[in-house]
Amino acid sequence: MTGLRLRGIAAVMVSIAAAIVAGWPGSSAFAGTGSSPDLVKGSAYLVSPANLIDGHYYRSFGTTADFGLTIDAALALAATGDQNQALRKIVSFLARGGKDAGGRTIDLWTGIGTRHASGGAIAKEALLAEVVGANPREFGGRNLIAALDAAVCPRTGAGGRLRCPAAGSYSYASSVFDQALGVIAQLRSGQPGQAAAPVRYLESLQHTNGSFPSLIPGTGGDVDSTAMAVMALALVPGRAAVDDVSSGVAWIASRQRSDGGFPGAGGNSVNSAGLAIQALALRRPAERPHIAAAEAFLANEQNADGGFELAAGGQHRSNLRASAQAVSGAVGIPFGSLRRILSGPTVGGPDPGPDDGSGSGLGWGSYLAVAVIALAIAALAGAARSRRRSARRGALPADGRQSEPVGRPRR
């Protein structure tokens, strides 16, 4: 291969690497563009010491850990991939039964192993384990999948109406959000048979206009719950599920406001916009304009500290829960396919220790870009070697034969 061709290949490789860095989740491309939020700043807000207590958990009130919010933020960090050290520390804390200032662990929140076990909470913990590549059947000394299977209600009222509102619901799952989390966790763990009844129950909650209610039982459609439901049903095989997802996504798109936001419990909700983007991403080609408008809405609601408002027209004060969902949503990866395999210390092992400030872990796009650049350098080195060999041999004429030295008599 000639040096010219090698140099051309190297140039193409460098261009590819630049494109990867510019557009791959987990790379510095997540710095905002004006029409999309700055997710590098968003991730930094989530892991700031003022928010992430001891690098382990988040709080909503007092000194009590909010384990649901902690998992929300961990999923957001998994989506961006630019704070992997912080993510690893959160996951390790949860997996080794870490305690908050009051001595509470995540098991107290999920109720696992008790008659009050919450199917939705167990599913949320299992989903985080699945996303980071940990084994949900051996997470924190618990088999989260077996516990989730046991939380499926065999009939209405089993153990009490509050525990089991219907056959196929998860124990104490009072919302579509909880039901959808259970379906996602079971299907991601390879449990289609065990998830069949929960899937049927989730499908039964969909209204004819494609929406899902918030609470169980419920009436009107809710953007957040519909987004979670379609992310769950997107994992279900078959034409019926495809149609259910399409009608749910279409309903979400129809609820978008002129400024790109979506209605939620708190008004023109940042949280709802984040979830809506993840759901719209299931039909990305058709919904690209709606996604772009929602991203612009989130960019407008991001504060100088990197966090996000609770809702449009707020007090310019960042809200942790809204920020976690905004960061997750703006990346645009549905929970059913989100994956961030953590390297380094074993997930669930000893605490990785304090972040050394070097930052953030690189996303897979960054690693791939580095590999492509390395190949480009190798190609350039090959071109240089080719030129040196040509110089030593002398130039070849058009017919490919070696030239005779000047002045040397022919034989």
User: Which range (133-147, 262-276, 367-381) has the least confidence?
Assistant: 367-381
Q: Do residues 181 and 127 make contact, with C-beta atoms less than 8 angstroms apart? A: yes
Q: What is the mean pLDDT of residues 24-30?
A: 38
Which pLDDT score, from 0 to 100, does residue 161 have? Answer: 80
Q: How many CA atoms lie within 13 A of 28 on its CB side?
A: 5
Name the residue with tokens 């690189």: 362
Which pLDDT score, from 0 to 100, does residue 9 have? Answer: 46
Give the model confidence (pLDDT) of 49-107 as tens digits: 999 999 999 999 889 999 999 999 999 999 999 999 999 999 999 999 999 999 999 99
* Between 346 and 28, residue with greater pLDDT: 346
* Between 28 and 99, residue with greater pLDDT: 99
Q: Do residues 263 and 269 make contact, with C-beta atoms less than 8 angstroms apart? A: yes
Tokens matching residue 333 = 């990866």
CATH topology of domain 38-354: Glycosyltransferase (1.50.10)
Which pLDDT score, from 0 to 100, does residue 402 have? Answer: 40
The pLDDT of residue 27 is above 70: no
Give the model confidence (pLDDT) of 257-269 as tens digits: 999 999 998 889 9
Which pLDDT score, from 0 to 100, does residue 352 have? Answer: 55
User: Which range (134-143, 152-161, 198-207, 379-388) has the least confidence?
Assistant: 379-388
The proportion of the chain whose per-residue pLDDT surpasses 90, expressed as a percent, equals: 70
Which pLDDT score, from 0 to 100, does residue 212 have? Answer: 98
Which pLDDT score, from 0 to 100, does residue 379 have? Answer: 52
The pLDDT of residue 385 is above 90: no
Which pLDDT score, from 0 to 100, does residue 381 have? Answer: 53
Which pLDDT score, from 0 to 100, does residue 34 have? Answer: 58
Which pLDDT score, from 0 to 100, does residue 186 have? Answer: 98
Distance CA 244, CA 247 (A): 5
The DSSP bridge partners found for residue 59 are 65
Q: Where are the beta strands (DSSP E) in 195-326?
A: 262-264, 267-269
Q: Do residues 257 and 263 make contact, with C-beta atoms less than 8 angstroms apart? A: yes
The pLDDT of residue 4 is above 50: no
The pLDDT of residue 168 is above 70: yes
Q: What is the mean pLDDT of residues 201-214?
A: 97
The DSSP bridge partners found for residue 64 are 61
Q: How confident is the model at residue 218 (pLDDT cuts 50, 70, 90)?
A: confident
Which pLDDT score, from 0 to 100, does residue 265 have? Answer: 84
Distance CA 53, CA 332 (A): 27
Q: What is the mean pLDDT of residues 215-227?
A: 92
User: Which range (224-238, 279-293, 309-323) has the least confidence?
Assistant: 309-323
* Between 175 and 381, residue with greater pLDDT: 175
DSSP string computed for 335-373? TTT------SSPTTSS---S--SS-PPPPHHHHHHHHHH
Which pLDDT score, from 0 to 100, does residue 401 have? Answer: 39
The pLDDT of residue 314 is above 70: yes
Which among 28, 16, 24 is positioned nearest to 374, based on CA atoms? 16
Which pLDDT score, from 0 to 100, does residue 160 have? Answer: 85
- The per-residue pLDDT of the chain, averaged, comes to 83
Q: What is the mean pLDDT of residues 402-406?
A: 37
Q: How confident is the model at residue 31 (pLDDT cuts 50, 70, 90)?
A: low
Distance CA 211, CA 276 (A): 12
